[in-house]
Chains A and B, each alone.
Chain A
């Protein structure tokens, strides 16, 4: 090999390495700036108080509670539906069959639809169609009960958005359940249904948990779908029922940094709220990664 070629090769390797390490550097830089800007502001008081003085001081307690309610309701709806879809894909269809391909295409498409379109769907379907018709049927004339943005509609919109996350993760878990377990169960005279309920599901609890955690992490971080399906700037009270609007961490970051009148004065609060949101998603993702690692290791050893 000539010297020129050797140098060219070295240059190419160096350049690709530069790209890779630039990404690592970027991650460190983003985390670093947000930790540096917010860590002194995150105190116990900040986490447990409501915003005061026109949102220029106080804490973010209502936003934390709102986010919590949102992801809990979302999971109650989304995780069972996602799990059932995953069971159907893994247990009832052959991998290359037309039905499996169709559902998988639908799941991939769902994952690729922009989150703002989910927000529009939430508004058009849940609020303007379902909610408005519920009101027509049950609410006193002229009153809006369900036909307006609220916690339930936001959570359902988010459940739809995070459905692909649950499906992919649970399906992977179900496929790691050893085939021999199923065969043994069937050989002992159990039906397919009994095998799924007694053998497959108990063995994929970790995977379902992982799917749920990943969905919660995604749901807690998305803001676009709840912009007009239920999130509110500021509420004097915590959400108490499904028809209430709610404050949310990501939405709080968005309005505090773009819509409030004194953006510079509240820099500390903005950084601290961002840090809380970042830590929340980071911890959730980390536990999901850990669970998945543990699951794979167990699958390999059995």
Chain B
């Protein structure tokens, strides 16, 4: 390198220095996404730190662990309580409903388009999924609030118009495209020889699909499940608009619920900065971050490694 540099004219050397700096800058910027993951965690932790250290105070006094573990969420009252359980159960209920509906529908639809479907159905499905994935969540929320909720109430006779079931079904509309896309990719990535071998042994199309292809794509299907779960758990606008937002401690699916994410969305705008309520909302954010990070890491590492092992790096 030094030998060539001595032969180069000075202008050329100067240019090389510029290139060197520019390349370092590019590398630096590329690491921004990595840096920001940490910054996100650090700064939402920072705003919830008083709570974690046991120093958060509201009008009444210090907020204790007992308040966080209590069974009711009433942050704006004379005796504020910040019980997380109603919110966690709310998130669980809505997520469970949405996954119970979205997962089978999306997986079977992916199985259909990757194995049985005639060409025209495939061509129809592609843009449909793209459009569905592109619909903003606030639009789905609005659709659920004005159309779906009335429809379900009339059809199923719900006492409350907005409830966990309606919210969960609305949420599944947002989750279906993710599960479908990941699962279909996994099914299409299977080696063709697998299908041919199954046919050669006399298996029919549906037997191949159900007993050979679907089991072989399990890691991908599992990843689809995890990513869908993460999206459902963290989604805010849909649940904020379509679940009724009452923090009740109940497992009843047709009662209004308030999820963790919706609580942040609904209450952060009205909260006093630095107050215990403010710290608690950020703490909920930390929980959401940890949950989505873990799901993503599991989906990334374990699943990919298992896929690699199974097909000898053929994905």
Contacts from A to B (Cβ < 8 Å): 1, 5, 8-9, 12-13, 15-17, 19-24, 26-27, 30-31, 33-34, 37, 81, 84-85, 87-89, 92, 102-103, 105-110, 112-121, 123-125, 128-129, 160, 163-164, 167, 191-193, 217, 220-224, 227-228, 250-251, 253-254, 257-258, 267, 270-271, 274, 277-278, 281-282, 285, 289
CA distance A5 to B282 in the complex (A): 56
Q: In the complex, which residue of chain A has the Cβ closest to the Cβ of B104?
A: A19
In this assembly, does B197 line the interface, its C-beta being within 8 Å of a C-beta of chain A? no
CB distance from B299 to the nearest CB of A (A): 8
A16 touches B234 (CB 8 A): no
A128 touches B33 (CB 8 A): no
Residues from chain A with Cβ under 8 Å of B39 in the complex:
121, 125
CA distance A52 to B122 in the complex (A): 47
Cross-chain pairs A/B with CB under 8 angstroms, 15 sampled: A19-B106, A24-B128, A30-B139, A81-B32, A92-B27, A106-B34, A108-B300, A117-B234, A120-B47, A120-B281, A124-B47, A125-B43, A228-B269, A250-B237, A285-B134
Residues from chain B with Cβ under 8 Å of A217 in the complex:
134
CB distance from A100 to the nearest CB of B (A): 10
In this assembly, does B61 line the interface, its C-beta being within 8 Å of a C-beta of chain A? no
A88 touches B29 (CB 8 A): yes
* Contact A30 to B143, CB < 8 A, known contacts A106-B33, A191-B16, A224-B265: yes
* Contact A257 to B241, CB < 8 A, known contacts A84-B30, A193-B19: yes
B23 touches A92 (CB 8 A): yes
Residues from chain B with Cβ under 8 Å of A123 in the complex:
47, 268
* Contact A223 to B138, CB < 8 A, known contacts A102-B34, A105-B300: yes
Q: In the complex, which residue of chain B has the Cβ closest to the Cβ of A102?
A: B34
A24 touches B44 (CB 8 A): no
Query: How many chain B residues have a CB neighbour from A under 8 Å?
Result: 88
Contacts from B to A (Cβ < 8 Å): 16, 19, 22-23, 26-27, 29-34, 36-37, 39-40, 43-44, 46-47, 104-106, 108-109, 111-113, 116-117, 121, 124-125, 127-132, 134-143, 145-147, 173, 176, 180, 204-207, 209-210, 227, 230-231, 233-237, 240-241, 261, 264-265, 268-269, 273, 281-282, 285, 288-289, 292-293, 295-297, 300
Q: In the complex, which residue of chain A has the Cβ closest to the Cβ of B207?
A: A9
* Contact A88 to B112, CB < 8 A, known contacts A108-B296, A112-B230, A120-B285: no
CB distance from B34 to the nearest CB of A (A): 4
CB distance from B288 to the nearest CB of A (A): 5
**Shortest beta-carbon contacts, A-B, top 3:** A114-B234, A221-B136, A88-B30
Interface of B is mostly: helix
CB distance from B309 to the nearest CB of A (A): 15
Residues from chain A with Cβ under 8 Å of B19 in the complex:
191-193
Residues from chain B with Cβ under 8 Å of A109 in the complex:
37, 293, 296-297
Residues from chain B with Cβ under 8 Å of A118 in the complex:
40
CA distance A253 to B198 in the complex (A): 52
B292 touches A114 (CB 8 A): yes
CA distance A181 to B22 in the complex (A): 22
Residues from chain B with Cβ under 8 Å of A33 in the complex:
143, 147
Residues from chain A with Cβ under 8 Å of B113 in the complex:
20
Which of A19, A103, A128 neighbours the largest number of chain B CB atoms within 10 Å of its CB?
A19
CB distance from B143 to the nearest CB of A (A): 6
B124 touches A163 (CB 8 A): no
CA distance A34 to B135 in the complex (A): 12
CB distance from A45 to the nearest CB of B (A): 22
CA distance A193 to B21 in the complex (A): 11
Residues from chain A with Cβ under 8 Å of B180 in the complex:
23
Residues from chain B with Cβ under 8 Å of A227 in the complex:
265, 268-269
Partner pick for B241 among A24, A117, A254, A282, CB 8 A cutoff: A254
CA distance A13 to B205 in the complex (A): 9
CA distance A85 to B111 in the complex (A): 35
Partner pick for B293 among A5, A23, A113, A121, CB 8 A cutoff: A113
Which of B33, B116, B236, B289 neighbours the largest number of chain A CB atoms within 10 Å of its CB?
B33
Residues from chain B with Cβ under 8 Å of A258 in the complex:
145, 240-241
B289 touches A113 (CB 8 A): yes
* Contact A116 to B146, CB < 8 A, known contacts A23-B125, A106-B34, A221-B136: no
Partner pick for A223 among B112, B207, B233, B237, CB 8 A cutoff: B237
A24 touches B136 (CB 8 A): no
CB distance from B152 to the nearest CB of A (A): 14
CA distance A19 to B207 in the complex (A): 18
Residues from chain A with Cβ under 8 Å of B143 in the complex:
30, 33-34, 274
A12 touches B124 (CB 8 A): no
Residues from chain B with Cβ under 8 Å of A278 in the complex:
135-136, 139
CA distance A258 to B162 in the complex (A): 12
Residues from chain B with Cβ under 8 Å of A92 in the complex:
23, 26-27, 30
Residues from chain B with Cβ under 8 Å of A107 in the complex:
33
A13-B116, A109-B296 given; 7 more Cβ-contact pairs under 8 Å = A19-B105, A115-B235, A192-B23, A221-B138, A254-B142, A281-B135, A289-B130
Residues from chain A with Cβ under 8 Å of B230 in the complex:
112, 114
CB distance from B173 to the nearest CB of A (A): 7
CA distance A191 to B204 in the complex (A): 57
A9 touches B206 (CB 8 A): yes
CB distance from A278 to the nearest CB of B (A): 5
Residues from chain B with Cβ under 8 Å of A191 in the complex:
16, 19
